[in-house]
Amino acid sequence: MRQLVYLAFAVMLLGAVPHGVDSPAHAAEEPVAEGQGLFLIITDIHFDPFSDPSLAKALASAPVAQWQSIFAGSSQTGFAQYGSHTNYPLLQSALSAAQQVADSRGAPYDFVLKPGDYLAHRFNSEFERYVGGGEQALQDFVIKTMQFVSAMLEQTFQVPVYGALGNTDAICGNYMIAPDSAMLPAVGATWGVLADQPTAFESFSIGGSYALPHPVVRDHTLIVLNNIFWSTRYVDRCGEHDVDPGMALMAWLEWQLYRARLSDRNVSLVMHIPAGIDAHHTSRRGACQSDVVPFWHEVYTERFLALAKSYRDILRDSYAGHMHMDDFRVFADDEGAPFLLTRVTPAVSPVYKNNPAFTTVRYDRTSGDLLDYATYYLTNLASAGSGEAAQWALEYNFSVAYDFDAYDPANLQSLAEQIQNDETVRAKYRTFYAVETSAESSITDQNWRLYACAQTALTVSSFEACTCDRGQPR
């Protein structure tokens, strides 16, 4: 089945019309030197198969291999706008632009990270509105949509794609993925990285997490977590299991880290929801005590931080999405020394009024060390696809924008300090946060410290100390 689906997609992609990536942007990029590699992070696509409602029933009745031809017949050519999820024209353009970046740099991606949220919000209600047919029909449509987005990624880039599940990626509903869900083996069976990997496939089929060797770097493991189980908003409404899947995931993660250390392997983590505090929702409530909104239940945050500190000698980097914005987190040990970074990549979906974006990362193919990253974005969202070609451009390089010689935890901790103390650096961060959005930024002169503190203060108590003790306005 997987081979037939991808063959049909390959034929369709050969005829796809590419969208431009502004060439002047590449003048600011450092070349990919010998011994270095490039990988792509693309996240929070939130694909909306109902954006053209007239296609919904045809999609529901057709196999996934025919979906692209159905979308190609739509009269909808304009891109999804602020407040909307990714439609087919925007998805095709984003993937084409990302591939053109690799082509222009003469360095094909070694692999792709996809940190979750394949599906649009309100998926179930939209299905009932435009298709209907009951629970089994909904399950089939969820699975096919997940398979479609996965196939688009794999066929565009032709390299390993390591996907993590997001909060929308569930049959039951938002934040309701059930352990042992029927979606997991059905989707996992179409993921190339899980083919011929029975242990990883079984792990994914049960809980949505898996561990695999890094495709390039020796003695390095990628651990991909379905950390929706740790969210303060998670509800196992459809699974109705008696055990705590969040604690089971934590035990599984500890075992994977233990095995990695025994085997002298380093580790990268991929997940959907970053650790720490949700600065955006906290800013709507205040900044102190019960006003603070953490992403995870505190019990999971504390256990994760303890694990990270215990295994800091083998943890190299981590990746997340979920926020839809451009941000980062830095983990430090008990003496305050930074040892782990989280790259939070902005979304393709413009639903939260960010411009669509993706990130490329340059790294050392021997050591696995990260060297630099670059964010690309769609500069003309309002007019793209409706009589005007999409224009994707380099927004910034980390090294150039912030004047650092390496992308590592120590420099990120230094950047976090500069954001708090240097108005010029803070202004750059605020611009990059929502990817040059033309909408009103969620970071203001009144609440900026909340966002700055969230970069390094990962627990409720440390966040309160960072914000409340410094006179943050309530």
| Positive or negative torsion for Cα 208, 110, 322, 104 | negative
Query: b/e string for 184-223 if b means 16 or more Cβ within 10 A?
Result: bbbbbebbbbbeebeebbebbbbbbbbbbebeebeebbbb
Write out the two tokens for 41.
């992070």
Query: Helix axis angle, 135-157 relative to 123-130, nearest 10°?
Result: 110
DSSP state letter for 216:
S
Alpha-carbon distance 90 to 95, whole Å?
A: 9
Q: What is the pTM of this model?
A: 0.94
Tokens describing residue 70: 């159905």
Distance CA(119)–CA(138), nearest Å, equals: 13
3-state secondary structure 248-285: HHHHHHHHHHHHHHHCCCEEEEECCCCCCECHHHHHCC
Question: Exposed/middle/buried for 328, CB within 10 Å: 0-12, 13-18, 19+?
Answer: buried
Count Cβ neighbours within 10 Å for each residue of 23-36 and write b for 16 or more, e otherwise.
eebeeebeebeeeb
Closest CA to 453 of 428, 424, 429: 429
Residue 211's contacts (CB-CB under 8 Å, 6 or more residues apart) are: 200, 203, 221, 222, 223, 224, 256
3-class DSSP state of 330: strand
Bridge partners of residue 41, in order along the sequence: 113, 359
Tokens of 381: 């969202």
Residues 6+ apart with CB under 8 A from 207: 179, 180, 184, 226, 229, 245, 248, 249, 252
Question: For residue 137, how many other CB atoms are within 10 A of its CB?
Answer: 15
**pLDDT given at position 2:** 55
Over the stretch 219-245, which tens digit does the pLDDT of each residue have?
A: 999 999 999 999 999 998 787 767 899
C-alpha 60/C-alpha 127 separation (Å) is: 9
Cα separation, 300 vs 271, in Å, equals 14
Q: How far apart are CA 211 and CA 412, in angstroms?
A: 27
Q: Where are the alpha helices (DSSP H) in 111-268?
A: 123-130, 135-157, 183-188, 198-207, 245-262
Q: What does residue 115 show for φ and ψ, rounded to 5 degrees?
A: -80, 45
Q: What is the chain's pLDDT, residue by residue, as a tens digit (474 residues)?
A: 455 444 445 444 434 444 455 533 334 577 899 999 999 999 999 999 999 999 999 999 999 999 999 999 999 999 999 999 999 999 999 999 999 999 998 899 999 999 999 999 999 999 999 999 999 999 999 999 999 999 999 999 999 999 999 999 999 999 999 998 999 999 999 999 999 999 999 999 999 999 999 999 999 999 999 999 999 999 987 877 678 999 999 999 999 999 999 999 999 999 999 999 999 999 988 656 568 999 999 999 999 999 999 999 999 999 999 999 999 999 999 999 999 999 999 999 999 999 999 999 999 999 999 999 999 999 999 999 777 999 999 999 999 999 999 999 999 999 999 999 999 999 999 999 999 998 888 999 999 999 999 999 999 999 999 998 655 443
* Helix segments in 73-122, DSSP class H: 88-105
Q: Helix, strand or coil for residue 97?
A: helix
Q: Are 394 and 25 in contact (CB under 8 A)?
A: yes
- Cα angle: 55, vertex 59, 62; to 5 degrees: 140
Task: Kindly list the structural domains of the chain, giving each domain's residue range(s) and its CATH number in brackets, ordered by start.
Answer: 2-25+33-470 (3.60.21)
